[in-house]
Amino acid sequence: MPIIHWFRRDLRLADNTALNAAVRDSGGAVIPVFILDDKLLKGRDVAPMRVRFMLESLRALDDGLRRRGSQLLVLRGDPATELARLAQATGASAVYFNRDYTPAARRRDRRVAATLRSAGVRVESFKDLVIFEEDELLTASGQPYTVFTPYKKAWLSRITPIRPQAGDWQLSPLPTLPSSIAVMSHLPSAAELGFADVQGGPKGGEPEAMRLLMQFKDSGALQAYSTRRDFPGIEGTSRLSPHLRFGTISPRQCYAVAVSTLSYAFPAKHSFSPAASDAKKEGADAWISELIWREFYIQILYHFPHADHANFNRAYDVVRWGSGDAALDEARFAAWCEGRTGYPIVDAAMRQLNQTGWMHNRTRMIVASFLTKDLLLDWRLGESYFMRKLADGDPASNNGGWQWAASTGTDAQPYFRIFNPKLQSERFDPDGTYIKRWLPELARVPVEYIHEPASMPPAVQAQAGCIIGRDYPAPIVDHAEQKEEILRRFKAVKTG
Going from N- to C-terminal start, the domains of the chain cover 3-129, 206-303, 314-495
Q: pLDDT (tens digit, 9 = 90+) per residue, 221-233?
A: 999 999 999 999 9
| Degrees to nearest 5, angle at CA 11 with 6 and 13 | 90
Phi, psi of 126 (to 5 degrees): -140, 155
Q: To 10 degrees, what angle do helices 326-338 and 379-389 make?
A: 40
Q: What is the pLDDT of residue 267?
A: 41
Residue 111 neighbours by CB under 8 Å, 6+ apart: 80
Is 60 exceeded by the pLDDT of residue 274?
no
Asked if residues 405 and 372 have their Cβ atoms less than 8 Å apart, the reply is yes
For residue 291, what are the CA distances in angstroms to 77, 90, 153, 156, 255? Answer: 33, 39, 13, 11, 8
| 270: pLDDT strictly greater than 90 | no
* 293 labelled catalytic: yes
Q: What is the pLDDT of residue 44?
A: 80
Those residues with Cβ within 8 angstroms of residue 417's Cβ, 6 or more apart along the chain or in another chain: 407
The whole model's pTM is what?
0.94
- What is the tens place of the pLDDT at every residue in 30-88? 999 999 999 889 888 999 999 999 999 999 999 999 999 999 999 999 999 999 999 99
Residue 392, CA distances (Å) to 53, 84, 246, 312, 396 in order: 9, 30, 8, 22, 11
Average pLDDT over residues 15-38: 97
pLDDT tens figures, 342-364 = 999 999 999 999 999 999 999 99
pLDDT > 50? residue 413: yes
pLDDT above 70 for 112: yes
Given a cut of 60, is residue 272 above it in pLDDT? no
| Residue from 250, 263, 258 nearest 285 by CA | 258
Residue 394: what are its φ and ψ, rounded to 5°? -115, 125
Alpha-carbon gap, residue 363 to 345, rounded angstroms: 7
Q: Are 147 and 410 in contact (CB under 8 A)?
A: yes
Q: How far apart are CA 214 and CA 210, in angstroms?
A: 6
Give the active site residue among 379, 383, 398, 404: 379
Provide mean pLDDT across the span 478-485: 97
Query: How far from each other are the two terminal CA atoms of the chain, in whole angstroms?
Result: 65
Q: At what angle do helices 361-369 and 344-356 cross, to 10 degrees?
A: 120
Name the catalytic one among 56, 82, 206, 290: 290
Point out which residues pair with 450 in neighbouring strands.
none
The one-character DSSP state at 143 is P
pLDDT tens column, 426-470: 999 999 999 999 999 999 999 999 999 999 999 999 999 999 999
For residue 97, list its beta bridge partners. Answer: 125
pLDDT tens, residue by residue, 284-314 = 999 999 999 999 999 999 999 999 999 999 9
438 classed as catalytic: no
> Which CATH number is 3-129 given?
3.40.50.620
pLDDT in tens, 158-192: 999 999 998 899 999 999 999 889 899 899 999 99
pLDDT for residue 269: 46
Radius of gyration of the chain (CA): 24
Set 124, 133, 136, 321: catalytic member: 321
Q: Please, what is the average pLDDT of the chain?
A: 94
Q: Which of 293, 336, 358, 438 is catalytic?
A: 293
Residue partners of 66: CB distance under 8 A and separation at least 6:
none
Residue 266 has pLDDT above 50, yes or no: no
Phi, psi of 348 (to 5 degrees): -65, -45
* Weakest mean pLDDT among 127-136, 264-273, 274-283: 264-273
pLDDT of residue 167: 86
287 assigned to active site: no
Decide if 6 is catalytic.
no
Rounded CA-CA distance 457/459 in Å is 6
- Asked whether the beta carbons of 222 and 283 are under 8 A apart, the reply is yes
Band of the pLDDT at 9, cuts 50, 70, 90? very high
pLDDT in the model for residue 198 = 82
- Which DSSP letter does residue 31 get? E
The predicted pLDDT at position 326 comes to 97
- Under the phi-then-psi rule, with left for phi > 0, alpha for psi from -120 to 50, and beta for the rest, what region is 163? beta
Q: Is the pLDDT confidence value at 321 over 60?
A: yes
pLDDT at 258: 94
The rounded distance, in Å, linking the Cα atoms of 392 and 322 is 28
Query: What is the arrangement of strands in the sheet containing 122-126, beginning at the earlier edge strand?
Result: 73-76, 30-36, 3-7, 94-98, 122-126
DSSP state of 358: -
The architecture in CATH of the region 314-495 reads Orthogonal Bundle (1.10)
Looking at domain 206-303, which of 1.10.3470.10, 1.25.40.80, 3.40.50.1110, 1.10.569.10 is its CATH number?
1.25.40.80
236/254 Cα distance (integer angstroms): 16
| Active site (annotated) includes residue 402 | yes
